[in-house]
Amino acid sequence: MVLMDPTTANLFSNFILRLVRASIEGDNQDMDTDTIEWAGRMINLGANAHRIHVTRQYKAPKLERALREEFWSTMAGFVVDEQADVAGTVDLNRDMEDAEIRIVEDLCKRSEVARKVFLQYTLERALIPDIPSLTRCLPRILNTLPPAVNPDENVDGDQVLHSFTYHSFLHSFLAVLARSHLPRLINTPRFQKVVLHDFLFPLLERWDESAHEIVARFWSEFFDVRVIGGQVGGIQHAGIGEGVRIVAEWADKAFELGKKDDDRIYTLYHLYETLIKRSCNSYLPKKGPEKPEDEDLERNRQPYAISPPAIMEFLAQGIPGQYGIVLGSGLQNPPLGDDAMEEEMGEQEDVVMTS
């Protein structure tokens, strides 16, 4: 049962990547394929544990030969690519070689071991962030998205696992960006292109409602004092200020592209309502002594910091509930405080490791 835990699989994935990287960067240039194979078998055993328990066929499928013969060396090649990027001897906008694309995409479509290792590698590059590597890796993830799972149909166990792994990656990937890289995402056009225009927006258009919900929650992270600028705990943070308003454009596009299911529309309503309230709360000054000029400033202030047209129209329709649409928007309520939002975000757990 321990091997079924996603954290265990991620530990083994990280272990494999360390061994692969050591074969390129370490003193010993020989890849420890035996240990890598053992770690791969542990991931594979965890991926098949439920099927083994149900069928009582107590033997996990063997690892694909393509992992041993092609995939590990391909991953090592990515480390070499990183070194070439740093040296500045290559085109930083280049894609993978055709053979690398074939190997990664073919295996990620059918092998949980390949998925875990490749997604873990992509998360590691996002932590830096290594934009050239993300330029090469994110299209592979986009091209191997699992089909949307219909809860009313019987689906293959591997399809469910494929979907779970990719949803977990998406959540962890956005968590990495939220922790460290939001100002860079706003201020760096190339980073925007690689992450948003070439990955997130096409992903929303192709994938399912769960992905839409994960991304919708992400937009609220921009409206934090550490991103916008201000004082936290006596420390002044230099932020991007009014530049954060571009998030209105991104969130509106994400809303229009993302899948929407009537059975889950309330969740989307709540997430986008929280975004608008959070943006408003971020710009409101701290309450001080009551002065006439303060009251005038409050009256003249726009009611919300951002007003994405499609989202505002959606929210203005009212709150969907058990008895249909409740007239009147929830935006008339007071803005959420930062503590409430942090508590909500704290309930989310990164399933894919990011360290």
Question: Could you state, in order of their start, the residue ranges of all structural domains in the chain?
Answer: 194-286+298-355
Are the CB atoms for 107 and 101 separated by under 8 Å? no
Mean pLDDT of the chain: 81
Are the CB atoms for 144 and 108 separated by under 8 Å? yes
* pLDDT for position 56: 62
* Residue % of the chain over a pLDDT of 70: 73
Q: What is the DSSP letter of 319?
A: E
> In which residue ranges of the chain is pLDDT below 70?
1-6, 49-60, 151-152, 154-155, 230-233, 236-237, 282-304, 319-355
* pLDDT for position 160: 84
pLDDT single digits (tens) 217-276? 999 999 887 888 766 667 766 777 778 889 999 999 999 999 988 888 999 999 999 999
pLDDT single digits (tens) 163-176? 999 999 999 999 99
Residue 208 CB contacts under 8 Å (≥ 6 apart), including other chains: 148, 149, 259
Q: What is the DSSP letter of 197?
A: I
* pLDDT for position 114: 96
pTM: 0.82
Distance of CA 222 to the CA centre of its chain: 14
